[in-house]
Chain A
Amino acid sequence: MRLFLTLVRRDVVAETRRLQAVLSMAIFALVVMVVLHYGWGVGPGDASEPARSTETVPAAMLWVVFVFAAILGLGRTFAPEREDDCLDGLLLLPVDRFTLFLAKATTNLLLLIVLQIAVVPVFALFFLETGVTHLPAFIPVALLADVGMAAVGTLLAALVLRARSRDLVLPVVMLPLLVPLVIAATSATGAVVDGGADLAEVAGRLGFLAGYDAVMLLLAWGTFGILVSE
């Protein structure tokens, strides 16, 4: 018995690295809850429409699904450079750093669009009663949000390029920064799909998404060079 306790104590002391990981996981869990709230649209202190039956899933939940899937894929942004060790080679090319960033981000954007084309019909099939009849209004929302995710994802992937345990760190770091985007996207999607709004009504949210994208691209322009050099 005493041996058992000694072993436990030794393991606890040795696992301080794990405790740091627990901190990361706790942060992640909290952000997930924030994202879920904006997908679901209910919570204490909300005077929201009471007619949110538990049998229908709000269309906004699509973004919850989507953001997590995207984070998994975005982590692989610089995998080719790491595995083949050709980051230095890329840096020798006569292009400025921001162009490199745009190339990577565009690839990510295309991947995200492909992912959406696959996921959206399935989501509608599983969860939505109305089906995807509001597609034309949904597409601009999706595209603007995709640009934002691609920009943030590529920038942060560069940030954690040489970090230890980057597969754990990247999701933890990316998700809180994506929350404003998620809020705008879920709000717009809910209005369009569940509420039948047209583009003009969600113009404000589209504007915000465009602004978010612009800000993130500007930050990338300013900082990407520093991240990949040296």
Chain B
Amino acid sequence: MDTDMQTDTREDQSSSRGTARWSRLYSTPALFVWAALLLVTGALLAFLVAPVDASAMGFSQKIFYVHAPVAETALVAFAVSFVAAVLSLRRTAATDRGPWADLETAAIRLGLAFSVLVLITGMIWGRAAWGVWWAWEPRLTTFLLAVLVYASYFVVRAATDDEDRRAVIGSVFAIIAFVSVPLTFFATRYLPEGLHPVVITSSGAQMEGSMAATFVVCTAGMLVLLAALLRSEMTAARIRAELAETRDALEGTRP
């Protein structure tokens, strides 16, 4: 129908006319499909194929296959936000800054969502492995602080009324926030003396073949999912910008 074609953004129109059918393979919906395939495969591998861990953790070690990939993906999201923030600040014109600031905010929002999942799975794993719902161990504490720091990112932005200023402040804060993550990890892991935090996430570097394969599949699935979500966030940001433009034009021509 006519209306359907009109809802395509300019990018969609060009890509459907595009040269390679290959580009359909990594279009945003396709990425979601890839992610789903990888994750379902990973889940099956984890439950059916990977051997039960020989250590005292036994079967509950299988939480690792969902906890660690989510954790890595959260960190990747935060890293993306850091790069986007740096690039956003290097642009001097507010309009050039826009896309990078949008990427930065989207990455932080997604990183926050993934970090909450890290905390939940981490707590469940801690309960399964050590009987306590919370332990002040490095990974959990670092992700807790990351959630709090990146939540305050939105607090800072909400408190700034001027829109251009908001992007600048957000970017500066995003940079500081990202730097605080390794600092916090290092501090919680190496410094407290007299507190021997129970390290619940001990996973040996040498993973047996099928364990490693499962881990790789799950990690890949999560990362592809992150890419798909970031892509769709950026499309939404672009539509939002076009919408604002169109609405401004409407206001302008109104008698």
Contacts and interface: CB of A to CB of B under 8 A. Distances in A.
Interface of A: 20, 23-24, 27, 30-31, 34, 37-38, 41, 43-49, 155, 159-160, 162-166, 169, 172-173, 176-177, 179-180, 183-184, 187, 190-191, 195, 204-205, 208, 212, 215, 219, 222-223, 226-227, 230
Contacts of A44: 132-136
Contact of B192 (A38, A163, A172, A227): A38
A163 B156 contact: yes
Nearest to A26: B151
Interface residues of B, number: 49
B232 interface: no
Contacts of A166: 159
A164 B159 contact: yes
B138 to A, nearest CB: 11
Nearest to B134: A44
B201 interface: no
A46 B137 CA distance: 9
A175 B154 CA distance: 15
Chain A at the B interface: SS class: helix
B160 interface: yes
B149 A177 contact: yes
Contact of A227 (B130, B169, B180, B200): B169
A47 to B, nearest CB: 5
Interface string B141-176: 100110011011001101111101100110011011
Contact of B130 (A45, A180, A215): A45
Contact of A208 (B130, B162, B175, B187): B187
Contact of B193 (A165, A177, A191, A208): A191
Given A46-B198, A159-B156, A23 B135 contact: no
A208 B155 contact: no
Given A37-B136, A219-B179, 15 more contacts: A30-B144, A34-B144, A45-B130, A48-B195, A48-B196, A162-B165, A163-B160, A164-B161, A165-B159, A173-B173, A177-B176, A183-B184, A204-B190, A223-B175, A227-B169
A176 B145 contact: yes
B183 interface: yes
Given A46-B195, A184-B191, A187-B191, A173 B132 contact: no
B148 to A, nearest CB: 5
Contacts of A215: 179, 183
Contacts of B134: 43-45
B151 to A, nearest CB: 5
Interface string B60-82: 00000000000000000000000
B176 A212 contact: no
A49 B196 CA distance: 9
Contacts of B130: 45
Counting chain B CB atoms within 10 Å of each CB, the highest count among A37, A44, A190 belongs to: A44
B97 to A, nearest CB: 11
Contacts of A230: 164-165, 168
Contacts of A173: 152, 155-156, 173
A160 B156 contact: yes
A177 B187 contact: no
B108 interface: no
B194 interface: yes
B76 to A, nearest CB: 21
Contact of B175 (A46, A180, A183, A219): A219
B27 interface: no
B197 interface: yes
B172 A31 contact: no
Closest 10 CB pairs of A and B: A45-B135, A180-B187, A163-B159, A45-B198, A183-B187, A180-B183, A176-B149, A44-B132, A176-B148, A47-B196
A160 B159 contact: yes
A48 to B, nearest CB: 5
A204 B191 contact: yes
A160 B183 CA distance: 23
B126 A45 contact: yes
Contacts of A48: 194-196
